[in-house]
Amino acid sequence: MEKMDKGASARGPLSPLLFDMVMEALSRMLDVAASTGQFTGFSVIVNLRAILARFEEVSGLRINLGKSELVPIGGVPNLEALVGLLGCGQSSLPLKYLGLPLGAKFKDLSVWNPILERMERRLAGWKRMYLSKGGKVTLIKSSLSSLPTYFLSLFPLPSKVAKRMEKLQRDFLWNGIGVDPKYI
């Protein structure tokens, strides 16, 4: 969804709340259509397009179907025809949405690789700086500890990943990265 007016007021502190409210309205419009039987057969596309057009009128947002994708869950007959009628792309699970891997197995350790890689890149950049132990602790607490927060909203943290994160932080704090241990 794209805001038609890209003014500075759209980026204020109320933007996330307003977005949630507007999306709640769209969700309710779709719920009503589903409960009244408007989403059966190929009429679903016509009715969905009508709901989206009404949503655009009411909210002032424009839905860019060229950037949208239809993601089937389970077997969907005539999927290509539906994609053509709606005028959007087609994708399948797993996929990335807002940086999160949707449809991935929640116990799969590879889901956490982007977080671990980002942590390693940050630590490698900090390695070049001359930092006291207090400076290192501050960077670890303020920056590294927040990296997994977004992923934790969807995935539980496996103990192997937690141990790897702790080891990266511990090694940086006491040794730096890629250097021999320093004994005090």
> Could you report the per-residue pLDDT of 98-107, keeping only the tens digit for each?
888 888 887 8
- pTM recorded for the entire structure: 0.56
Same domain, 83 and 113: no
| Segments forming the whole domain that contains residue 31 | 2-92
Does 125 map to a domain?
yes
Same domain, 32 and 81: yes
Same domain, 113 and 87: no
Does 100 map to a domain?
no
CB 144 within 8 A of CB 100: no
Same domain, 42 and 69: yes
Q: What is the pLDDT of residues 152-170, one digit of tens each?
A: 888 899 999 999 999 999 9
In degrees and rounded to multiples of 5, residue 123 shows phi and psi of -65, -40
34, pLDDT greater than 80: yes
Strand partners, 90: 70
* Structural domains of the chain, count: 2
